[in-house]
Amino acid sequence: MKANLIHGDFNPCGGAERLSLITMKSLLEVGIDFDLTTLKSPDIQKLENSFGKNLVSVMKCAKRVNVINILEELRQQQQGEQDNYYTYDITINTNGDAAPYYHPSFSKNNAITYCHYPSTKYHIEFENTEYLRTDLGMTENTLIFSDNRNYEDINNSKNCQAKLQSSRKREYFEILKYGYCNLMKNSIVITNSEFSRRAIVNAFGLEDIRILSPPIDIETFRNSALIINDGDDSERGDIILVISRIAPHKKIENAIKLAKILKDNSIGSEMKIVGNLYSYFSDYYSGLKQMIKELGLTDYVTFEINASLDQLLSIIQDSRVYFHPMVGEHFGMSVIEAIAAGLIAVVPDEGGVTEFVSQEYQYNTLQHAAEIIMHVLNNVHKTEQIKIGKDIDKFSNSHYIAAFRTILNELAAF
């Protein structure tokens, strides 16, 4: 029995990447060997910094790592230029949106797709070239197919970009549409929340969508809370914490706008934004820092970029309130982590987060969020935040692994 685990890019070090690592662990525990197929070589050191060496060590168990050009492979397949011989009994795509790889042998008997949200459908419809660069890791050079190259243009980025924006652009997205639509229709589709399930149903008309919450290291974050509970209650400061990848769609600017309201009203002592930064979004990060400067928040808002897991846990222990800036978040793994660590999470009233955060901590405007945070800091005793219900265990690693095994058992190949 052999599996092919597909994940577009591990290096953002976000929730999807952690889910992929836990899925590898699940395969090993049931004795299934696997190859890893990705679009970019994993940065092991960065992954270990974010998730810890123990979890990342599972990647070393992959029999082979295939780094592919997804557009070229799908094109060859679509045009019958690629050998259809496929050696895997099971294919598991742990981030179907970012890497919509498809093979004609896929079916609901041998393929699983974890779709966090059907974003790629809309990237394709609107021919979003930024998606090609950030999600698929494509450059102007790699976007020129081998069958019709003009070699004198290959090192001229302006010429290559012109090609991308004209005759080739439509071709690329037609190829991705072929891969993505067939992947979704010819595999067991899993998603993270009812919010995302409805979005997939609306996007594809598919009804048989499974919901399986992503795996959270509940024990590690709960232990972090217990350390505070056993110590001095005053150790937690009035810090507002944001945990998020530094990327435009995460809407970090909402956190900065909130910080302005909080500081002007003397609410909280500071805001810390902890997140991984990918090179693609360095300009966005620079813009955020400039925004902080222009709003006079340099003494209130600080960033902790590419923090290690230990650093994150230390910051959580110093914080009291977690704020989630993205409206319409598909799930929100960092929200669960914060709750497990004893923080009160203040989240938007739209998205997957509303399925597990009490309505009293859901905001509809940033001013409303500020009022909730002020209430928490002024009226909720620090020790009350440590009372974590057992129902949070449904988001644990062990729960995910057990549920994923159940799905594996349904496959004819297994």
One-letter-per-residue 3-state SS of 287-324: HHHHHHHHCCCCCCEEEEECCCHHHHHHHHHHCCEEEC
162 and 188 co-located in one domain: yes
Burial class (CB in 10 A: 0-12, 13-18, 19+), 394: middle
| Residue type (1 letter), 123 | H
DSSP 8-state code for residue 394? G
4 close to 88: Cβ distance less than 8 angstroms = yes
98 and 182 co-located in one domain: yes
CA distances from 102 to 63, 176, 185, 381, 404 (A): 21, 10, 10, 52, 21
266 and 279 co-located in one domain: yes
Conformational region of residue 177, where left means phi above 0, alpha means psi within -120 to 50, and beta covers everything else: alpha
- Looking up tokens 């902080």, which residue turns up? 292
308 and 251 co-located in one domain: yes
Backbone angles phi, psi at 3, to 5 degrees: -115, 155
Helix H or strand E encompassing 151:
none
| Residue type (1 letter), 2 | K
Q: Which distant-in-sequence residues (6+ apart) come within 8 Å of 407 by Cβ?
A: 112, 188, 190, 210, 212
210 and 253 co-located in one domain: no
- Looking up tokens 């609410």, which residue turns up? 267
- Written as six digits, the tokens of 349 are 């009233």
24 close to 56: Cβ distance less than 8 angstroms = no
Q: Which residues of the chain fall below pLDDT 70?
A: 81-84, 139-167, 228-236, 382-390, 412-414
240 and 210 co-located in one domain: no
- Domains of the chain: total: 2
Q: Which distant-in-sequence residues (6+ apart) come within 8 Å of 192 by Cβ?
A: 116, 211, 212, 213, 214, 330, 331, 352
118 and 171 co-located in one domain: yes
197 and 112 co-located in one domain: yes
Handedness of CA 351, 8, 191, 224 (dihedral sign): negative
One-letter-per-residue 3-state SS of 340-390: HCCCEEEEECCEHHHHCCCHHHEECCHHHHHHHHHHHHHHCCHHHHHCCCH
- In sequence order, the β-bridge partners of residue 393 are none
CA-to-CA distance for 237 and 319, rounded, in angstroms? 6
The range of the structural domain enclosing residue 237 comes to: 218-395
CA triple 409-412-413, angle to 5 deg: 90
CATH code where residue 13 lies: 3.40.50
20 and 135 co-located in one domain: yes
295 and 405 co-located in one domain: no
Instruction: Choose among 88, 111, 101: nearest CA to 9.
Output: 101
233 and 89 co-located in one domain: no
CATH code where residue 378 lies: 3.40.50.2000
According to DSSP, the β-strands at 65-67 and 33-38 are parallel
Query: Crossing angle, helix 15-29 and helix 44-51, to 10 degrees?
Result: 90
35 and 174 co-located in one domain: yes
* DSSP one-letter string for 24-59: HHHHHHTT-EEEEEESS---HHHHHHHH-HHHHGGG
